[in-house]
């Protein structure tokens, strides 16, 4: 009698355990599919924000290039300024050289050629100084006119749009 009752209980447990195991297996399948969907959504989010970051970075790079090009267009290049820095010493050396000439040097044709060449160099350096002064006048007014302009309204709208970009929907 007890053995029959035990067998009946075992049979009953096997009957209800089998559907329960099926439910657990079904739950595992549902979890795996949901996890796959979660990973798919993560990829979509990542792709969206990567595109946004790339777009922002590209715009930043464009503006930096535009600024550099405009700066070089409007102002002297750094190499030119370094070249101009040498002018005062060049002039000074040529003048010292000229002061050290004596009467006999004027009779020497080769020295006269060098003297003439030095005079031409002095004249060219003076022309360069005049050009520098013209450049200073030209750029001094525009030196502070460059600026970065953007619409505060558009920036705020964009930031607000990004803050509200995307939601996770549940069905």
57-66 pLDDT per residue, tens: 999 999 999 9
pLDDT grade for 32, boundaries at 50, 70 and 90: very high
Angle at Cα 101 formed by Cα 89 and Cα 83, nearest 5°? 15
Query: Could you tell me if residue 123 is left (phi over 0), alpha (psi between -120 and 50 degrees) or otherwise beta?
Result: alpha
Contacts of 42 (CB under 8 A, 6+ apart): none
Whether the predicted pLDDT of 40 surpasses 90? yes
Domain coordinates in residue numbering, the chain: 1-75
What confidence tens digit (pLDDT) does each residue in 99-146 have?
666 666 666 677 667 777 777 777 777 787 777 777 777 777 665 677
In this predicted structure, what is the pLDDT of residue 117?
76
């Amino acid at each position: 009698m007890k053995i029959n009752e035990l067998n009946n209980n075992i049979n009953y447990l096997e009957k209800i355990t089998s559907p329960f195991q099926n439910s657990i297996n079904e739950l595992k399948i549902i979890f795996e599919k949901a996890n796959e969907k979660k990973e798919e959504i993560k990829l979509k989010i990542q792709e969206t924000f990567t595109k946004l970051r790339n777009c922002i970075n590209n715009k930043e790079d464009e503006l930096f290039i535009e600024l550099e090009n405009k700066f070089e267009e409007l102002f002297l290049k750094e190499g030119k300024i370094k070249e101009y820095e040498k002018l005062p010493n060049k002039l000074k050396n040529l003048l010292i050289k000229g002061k050290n000439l004596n009467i006999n040097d004027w009779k020497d044709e080769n020295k006269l050629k060098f003297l003439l060449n030095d005079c031409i160099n002095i004249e060219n350096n003076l022309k360069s100084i005049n050009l520098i002064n013209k450049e200073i006048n030209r750029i001094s007014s525009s030196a502070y006119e460059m600026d970065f302009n953007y619409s505060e309204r558009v920036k705020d709208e964009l930031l607000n749009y990004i803050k509200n970009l995307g939601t996770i929907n549940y069905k």
